[in-house]
Amino acid sequence: MSERRTTNVEVRLPSRMGFEKVAMSTAASVAKLMGFRDDRVEDLKTAVAEACINAIEHGNRLNEKLSVGVILSAGEDSLEVKVIDDGKGMKNHPSKPDIDRKMHGQEDPRGMGMFLIQALVDEAEWVAGTNGKSSYVRLVIRLDKDAG
């Protein structure tokens, strides 16, 4: 049986808007090293950025005393990203934004982050932490998806 190897990279971000770009750049670097196509790297960048924004804004409520943990686990054929915050976790599942309702003022123009995350990666799950802390979103992007 061949041994499966996983390489981990960890980043810790302050809960300040804008620092999601640090995680985004790190994820892009790891994905490029793994051989992901450019378009998949772009998908991952947006998904990771949105996950970090949610963690900073909703999980840690912009409290700069709290940090957001980002753990990238590079396997042989997939990259897993966990974005961890000190919030209670997301209660609602992502729903597809309805542009007509937004245009007519029936839906908030915001609120697209979770939808984008789920749409751009191969797996996305939101896990509420025990004791109402250390919640995380777990993303997986597979190396061989639509390989051509």
Residues that bind another protein (CB under 8 A): 16-21, 39, 42-43, 46, 49-50, 53, 97-100, 102-103, 105, 108-113, 115-116, 119
Is beta strand 135-142 parallel, antiparallel or unpaired with respect to 78-85? antiparallel
Q: How far is the CB of 17 from another protein (least distance, A)?
A: 6
Q: How far is the CB of 99 from another protein (least distance, A)?
A: 3
Contact 50, 68 (CB under 8 A): no
Q: How far is the CB of 81 from another protein (least distance, A)?
A: 16
Q: How far is the CB of 39 from another protein (least distance, A)?
A: 7
Start-to-end CA span in the chain (Å): 28
Name, in order, each residue with C-beta under 8 angstroms of 11's C-beta and a sequence gap of 6 or more. Answer: 22, 23, 26, 69, 70, 72
Q: Which is nearer to another protein, 61 or 132 (CB)?
A: 61
Contact 24, 48 (CB under 8 A): yes
Q: Which is nearer to another protein, 65 or 110 (CB)?
A: 110
The span from the CA of 89 to the CA of 136, in Å, is: 7
Q: Which is nearer to another protein, 102 or 142 (CB)?
A: 102
The span from the CA of 43 to the CA of 134, in Å, is: 25
